[in-house]
Amino acid sequence: MKTALVTGANRGIGLEIAKGLVSIGYRVFVGARDLSLGKKAANEIGAEAIELDVGDEESIKRAVAILGSVDVLVNNAGILGEGHVLDDIDEFDNSMAVMVRGPFLLMHYLLPSMIANNFGRVVNVSSGWGAFSSGLEGPGGYGVAKASLNALTFSAARDMPDNVKINAMCPGWVRTRMGGQEADRSIEEGADTGIWLATLPDDGPSGGFFRDRTPVDW
């Protein structure tokens, strides 16, 4: 049985990706800052919960010590700022901590076992707002952080063996608490590419950026 960790998975796209992986037989850990919310969500889908604040390196270390290793890592946790990118230092720092440094640390600690086992899938949930091709839109530090996550994806994938794959995805504008109810896509539509990337076959792509299972420009 393959094991997966999905961060920020007590609701929204992360929970839907976790649910999809459970449905095909994966042992899934729902990462959540609030363990009680994580347990509630995990119980609903047949997963397990683990306390994990991706903006806190000590929390990441504790979670990794409990997990030991995983076959699949989905870096889904995110925050949405407001205003201009230069307005608020704390907001910018938090965006980078949660959406860049946190994924970096989880990859740093969990990829060695994937490499040793000659199998691994990393899915970085990014956004079209983090694409230079789309103008790096989005409030606060969000677009810069997602662009940095894309760069981390591209760079890290170059050094992996063939069967350890690292990809980024854009779920589109999804009806979640972050996206709002005016969004034009369902949670199921937003999560589909993440589930696909998490379960890629041996000849699947790596180092790419995808929406609806199709490559998109960085």
pLDDT tens by residue, 30-47 = 999 999 999 999 999 999
Catalytic residue, chosen from 142, 150, 194, 208, is 142
Q: What class is the 3-215 domain?
A: alpha beta
Q: What is the share, in percent, of the chain residues with pLDDT greater than 90?
A: 79
Give the tokens for residue 40: 């509630």
Instruction: Summarize the confidence of residues 139-145 as an average pLDDT.
Output: 89
Predicted local confidence at residue 140, as pLDDT? 80
The rounded distance, in Å, linking the Cα atoms of 68 and 56 is 18
Which residues are paired to 169 by β-bridges? 125, 210
Lowest mean pLDDT among 55-59, 127-131, 207-211: 127-131
Dump pLDDT digits (tens) for 164-209. Answer: 999 999 986 565 656 557 755 777 888 999 999 999 999 999 999 9
Q: What mean pLDDT value characterizes the chain?
A: 92
pLDDT band at 148 (very low <50, low <70, confident <90, very high): very high
Judge whether 26 counts as a catalytic residue. Answer: no
In angstroms, the CA 104 to CA 173 distance is: 25
Query: What CA–CA distances, in Å, run from 94 to 47, 135, 144, 162?
Result: 28, 22, 12, 33
> What's the pLDDT score for residue 180?
59
- The domain ranges of the chain are 3-215
Instruction: Identify the pLDDT of residue 68.
Output: 96
Mean pLDDT within 8-20: 94
DSSP structure string for 125-174: E--GGG-GGGT--SSTTHHHHHHHHHHHHHHHHTTS-TTEEEEEE---SB
* 90-128 pLDDT, tens digit each: 999 999 999 999 999 999 999 999 999 999 999 999 998
pLDDT at 176: 60
User: Average pLDDT, stretch 136-157?
Assistant: 92
CA distance 182 to 30: 27
**Strand 120-125 versus strand 164-169 pairing type:** parallel
